[in-house]
Amino acid sequence: MWNLTLDKVFASAQAALDGLIFDGARIMVGGFGFAGLPEDLIDALAKTNAQRLTIIICDAGGNGAVLEKLFENRQVSKLVTSYIGSDDIISARFLCGEFEVEFVPQGTLAEAIRCGGAGIPAFYTKTGVHTVVASGKEHKLFAGIEYIMEPAIKADIALIHAETADNEGNLTYKKTSRNFNPIMATAATHTIVEVEKLVATGEIDPDNVHTPGIYVDRIIQSIIPKHIEHLKVRNF
């Protein structure tokens, strides 16, 4: 009776991107540094050779990250991000004027994407008031304090990374690899997720689903191993 025929699981990253990527597309990419970075999907995106992409991402990953391939291929015309300092190659190409960067404060970026998925076209925040971030934006007083209006951010595609998916597309994330992934999942026309574990529907406790499957269109098994940017240990 509850027969759901739509199969969201695809055989490979390439297959999952097939038919969805186009020149000029706006693509959200999850991750904070290397944590939760959808490396399989980025690798496949680099192989599509789609051009003039707008990439929306928290930061530019880290040195050696597969994200660099998109810039080496000159596929990116605009980057919307809070920080590019973590990658020398991407920073250098930006300073050479190879692509445009729109810097957005990280919290504003997170909230704007959340609003993009939540049907809220704009919200007010105190972040960035009286800084360059506020220029050209509408200002408003609430209880005597000044705020600026920030617009929602949406995309054509969201590429995200999760720990576990079931056949429904219900997702769970692990620790600090959650970050922008759940928010981006809601804010794009098509959401593609790479996961470490695929489980049968019903195995994830419903109270602990981090992203309900309604937001997820395509799922693939991730095979690229995880990376660490700055390994620090203690001995005692």
Partner 1 sequence: MAWTRDQLAARAAKELRDGFYVNLGIGIPTLVANHIPEGVKVTLQSENGMLGMGPYPFEDEIDPDLINAGKQTISELPHSSYFSSSDSFAMIRGGHINLSILGAMEVSQNGDLANWMVPGKMVKGMGGAMDLVAGVRRCVVVMDHCSKDGRSKVLKKCELPLTGVRVVDLIITDLGVFEVDKVGNAPLRLIELADGISVEEIAAKTQADFVVDLK
Partner 2 sequence: MSKIYPNAAAALAGLPQDGMTIMSGGFGLCGIPENLIVALRDSGAKNLTVISNNAGVDGFGLGLLLESKQTKKMISSYVGENKEFERQFLSGELELEFNPQGTLAERIRAGGAGIPGFYTKTGVGTLVADGKEHKDFDGVTYVLETALQADISLVKAWKADEEGNLIYRKTARNFNPMMATAGKITIVEVEEIVACGELDADNIHTPGIYVDRIVCGSFEKRIENRTIRAKEMA
- Cβ proximity to partner 1, 51 vs 221, nearer residue: 221
Rounded-to-integer distance, Cα 209 and Cα 213, Å: 9
Q: Is the CB of 63 or the CB of 189 nearer to partner 2?
A: 189
DSSP code of residue 70: H
Chain center to CA of 136:
26
From candidates 113, 160, 171, 192, binder to partner 1 by CB under 8 A: 113
Contact segment (CB under 8 A) with partner 1 among 21-29, 47-55, 80-88, 214-222 equals 80-88
67 within 8 A of 60, measured Cβ to Cβ? yes
Q: Which of 97, 135, 175, 230 is in the footprint of partner 2 by CB under 8 A? A: 175
202 to 221, contacts with partner 2 by CB under 8 A? 205-208, 210
Q: Count CB neighbours of 69 within 10 A.
A: 15
CA distances to 7, 18, 149, 179 from 185, rounded to whole Å, are 18, 18, 23, 11
Rounded to the nearest angstrom, the gap between the alpha carbon of residue 156 and the centroid of all alpha carbons in its chain is 12
Q: Is 133 helix (H, G, I), strand (E, B) or coil?
A: helix
Of 21, 75, 83, 191, the one binding partner 1 by CB under 8 A: 83
74 binds, among partner 1, partner 2, none (CB under 5 to 8 A by kind): none
The item of partner 1, partner 2, none sharing an interface with residue 133, based on CB under 5 to 8 Å by kind, is partner 1
Q: How far is CA 175 from CA 11, 36, 181, in A?
A: 27, 9, 12
Site for partner 1, rule CB under 8 A: 32-36, 58-59, 62, 81-86, 91, 94-95, 101, 103, 105-108, 110-111, 113-114, 125-133, 163, 173-183, 210, 226-235
